[in-house]
Amino acid sequence: MTNIAEEFLEKADEKAFDLPHRKTINHNIGKYNVAVERGLSKFENLEASKRKAHVTKWRVMENLDKFLPEFESNFQKRGGKVIWANDVEEAQKEILNIIQKNGGKTVIKSKSMTTEEIHINEFLEQHGIESLESDLGEYIVQLLGQKPYHIVTPAMHLSKEEIAQLFHEKFGTPIDATPPQLVQKARELLREKYLKADIGISGGNFLIADTGSIALTENEGNARLCTTFPKIHIAIVGIEKVIPSIADLDLFWPLLASHGTGQNLTVYNSILTGPRQANETDGPEEMYVILLDNGRTNLLAQKEQRQALYCIRCGACLNACPVYKNIGGHTYNTTYSGPIGSIITPHFKGMKEFKHLSYASSLCGKCSEVCPVKIDIHKMLLLNRRDAAAEHINTKKEDIGWNLWKKGMKKRSLMDMVGGKMKNFFLKKFFKKSWGKYRDMPEIAAQSFSKQWEEKQKNSAES
């Protein structure tokens, strides 16, 4: 399975030197940075808010076996139905059962990373069910046949000119259409889909234990339409998304909005507690919440790394990461990219296949600095590396290389044994292709610093 790692290196090499791609990403992340700086300045004590969020999520993860049944019980009291799914196949099967039982043919979706995780669009298409994304960014990448580039802004890698070109080819809009014109066209195309869809599918930003509700936060209003018009609403949510109380939203909603987009609050915030009640005028006739594990309990079992499950999917660590900004989201070949994806993916999908992601980091610590729930992200990456080595899943070449490096680092005489001339020969002979493709190789001095210092001291003493 080393092919995944090799493919990552090839794509990273290609994207890192794709100048138009870098220009688009730097432009979009630059706009994000300005907005977020303004948004974070509105907190009276940001550090205290982050500490409180960290402690709240710590309490949830340490008591997940209590909070999840509490959510389930309270949600069922209002007529909702809860389904537990251990993996992708179970989640897909349960969703298909619900749709087929109700004779559904069309699905309208709001933005959800958990649905990307279980590949629901492709799965439903294989069973003759149309599944349409209604978030504008998701709709654009669906039209392109691509996966989301970023966990918050799926089409971040595209310029407005590229999107205008796409709409021109697909729908005949003017080649020089402005963003408002493109949005208007998307609105016209999608509006009738809400009215005709049999099933609405969403994710959930938070599961609220004490009220048995799911909380959704968005800027376009499409999630509210997806969960209101269709007769059946299915929400797919990771088991780690629980918060203890509805009162906690006054902490988590602003933290998510400010770190995600720089807003005080997103435009639309919804709390959904089961299907339409007898005294209510709108809402679905049936509502299901699918609680997805899919490797999360593997991570929960890791005492030192389980804090990665505190993540509220704001995307701040992606936008801060120098590696992500150079190689882009698609290179990771995972649902969750960037620093947080590099931590959780090896636990969700297998350390052997995805351990390489934990090495795709400069360990600068910027990701940990910006995290709204104070996950020690760069430390988690080091712990993943430690686990990969402890489980002996590194390649033989890696093991030999690290053992030689370790021996050399522990004994000065061994380092000095190979002179600068020999080191330069090895660099040019064996590392030129991998390290010197885009730059000149460094020239190592004939003698090490310790040898030069030793001679200098000796000459000083003699003189």
Buried (b) or exposed (e) across 178-195, using 16+ Cβ within 10 A?
A: eeeebeebbeeebeebbe
Phi, psi angles (nearest 5°) of residue 233: -120, 125
Query: Who's near 175: CB < 8 A, 6+ residues apart?
Result: 164, 165, 168
Q: For 245-265, how does the pLDDT look when each residue is reduced to its tens digit (9 = 90+)? A: 999 999 999 999 999 999 999
Coil, helix or strand at residue 326: helix
CA distance 327 to 317: 14
The answer to whether 335 touches 14, Cβ cutoff 8 Å, is no
pLDDT band at 140 (very low <50, low <70, confident <90, very high): very high
Q: How many CA atoms lie within 13 A of 113 on its CB side?
A: 20
Map out the domains of the chain with their CATH numbers: 42-294 (3.40.50.10420), 396-462 (no CATH)
Q: How high is the pLDDT of residue 1? A: 44
Comparing 118-122, 245-249, 326-330, 442-446, which segment has the lowest mean pLDDT? Answer: 442-446
Confidence category of residue 380, pLDDT binned at 50, 70, 90: very high
pLDDT digits (tens, 9 = 90+) for 303-316: 999 999 999 999 99
Q: In what order do the strands lie in the sheet with 130-133?
A: 81-85, 286-292, 232-238, 199-202, 106-109, 130-133
CA angle 181, 182, 184 (to 5 degrees): 65
Secondary structure element (H or E) that encloses residue 235, with its range: strand 232-238
The Cα 13–Cα 459 span in angstroms is: 48
Helix count (H) and strand count (E) of the chain?
24, 10
Q: Say if residue 2's pLDDT is above 60.
A: no
pLDDT band for 345, please (50, 70, 90 cuts). very high
Confidence of residue 389 (pLDDT cuts 50, 70, 90): confident
Q: pLDDT for 405-417, tens place per residue?
A: 888 888 877 777 7
54, pLDDT greater than 80: yes
pLDDT for res 358: 95
Residue 406's pLDDT is 87
